[in-house]
Homo-oligomer: A and B are copies of this chain.
Amino acid sequence: MPVRTASSKTRDLLIDVAAGEIHRHGYQGANLDRILNSASVTKGALYHYFGSKQALGYAVFDERIAKLIRDRWLSPVMMEGDPIGAMQGVLQVFHDTSDLDSVELGCPLNNLAQEMSPLDEGFRERIDALFEEWERGFAAALALGQSKGRVKRDIDPETTAMFIVSALEGCFGLAKSSRKMNVIRARLNAVSGYLESLRVKTKGR
């Protein structure tokens, strides 16, 4: 019988390790025994907290992947008068902190989207909702930027937000296969250049 307590050290550890395993092997390729081994936790503990592999996967999504997107990609861009600058800042953070290994594994959200959307309705709904939240947030930020005169008036915030998120995920997705840091840098620069084209140039620069 699943437990009601929201948090537990063991439960958190399991989700962390499972997140890593899913990030590398995908959901279908994720191996429970490998997770258990790597977390030094037994199967009894796992099934004490999660009713199934699927439940564990959903928990990884709800409590890790969604949080990652919100904390690293969405929140820094909200509540800013200068969304373009904020997005550039997020890209810069990624640029500075990413190593080849993290790039090689790609975006956990995008990975799961490609793998599980056609196979599991529960995953699909979660993924769709999170992408929508992300794009809604960017659209609102762009609209705010427009009203503050920092973002060009002639773009549609919704369409542009969709395009930005798509291009971002596309860049990370392609970067996975190249395994060359300079290629990844070049892709990010391309996004950066596009973002810059949305900005209203202030005289001072």
Contact = CB atoms under 8 A, between A and B. Distances in A.
Contact of A177 (B106, B113, B191, B197): B113
Contacts of A170: 165-171, 173
When all copies of this chain in the complex are counted, the total is 2
Interface in A117-172: 117-119, 124, 127-128, 131, 158-160, 162-163, 165-171
Nearest to A123: B177
A104 interface: yes
A37 interface: no
Interface stretch (A8-16, A25-33, A67-75, A80-88): A25-33
Contacts of A173: 110, 113-114, 166, 169-170, 173
